[in-house]
Amino acid sequence: MTQQIVLATRNAHKLEELDRILKDHGVAFELLTVDHFPGAPEVEETEDTFEGNALLKARALAQFTGIPAIADDSGLCVDALNGAPGILSARWSGAIDNVDATNRELVLSQMVDVPDDKRGAQFVCAAAYVTPEGQEIVVRGAIEGRLLRDSIGTNGFGYDPIFVPVGFDITTAQMTPAQKDAISHRSRALTQLVAQILG
């Protein structure tokens, strides 16, 4: 019987990404999402680290479903903003509509006086694996880059249109999904996590 893992997301992109990583390791898990479990808890992210929030979500889902769970928490950490927006990345502007664009605009407005050589930033992802029996693994993946002054590109989501990774001259929103997966913070974290789960 194929082992089941539930992913603490309703995001189809995250599900596809994890599925690709697992297959790259030659392993076939049956991946489920929160949508497969009506009544699954919506976990409030109350911790002050990416790792803490990922563990909160994975623990709650493993307990509710009775099967191993994977959760991640990720965001943009800007050097000139002392690591902000960080764990608040998804709700930085407080916007309800057009959230991604409004969040980007707020960050860019906060960076307007920052010179080009001081616009360093990192995308960070913490991924956690928790079993109903209490086994816990948590890892971190990150990618260094810099912020532009305007949005470029229509792929990806969130802060992708203003983030240029080190070694590239295009934003992560200009990359194909395969290009982004090869370097992304989430891919790096999930690859480590899968290696430890299988280890």
Contacts of 94 (CB under 8 A, 6+ apart): none
Which residues are known catalytic residues?
Answer: 73
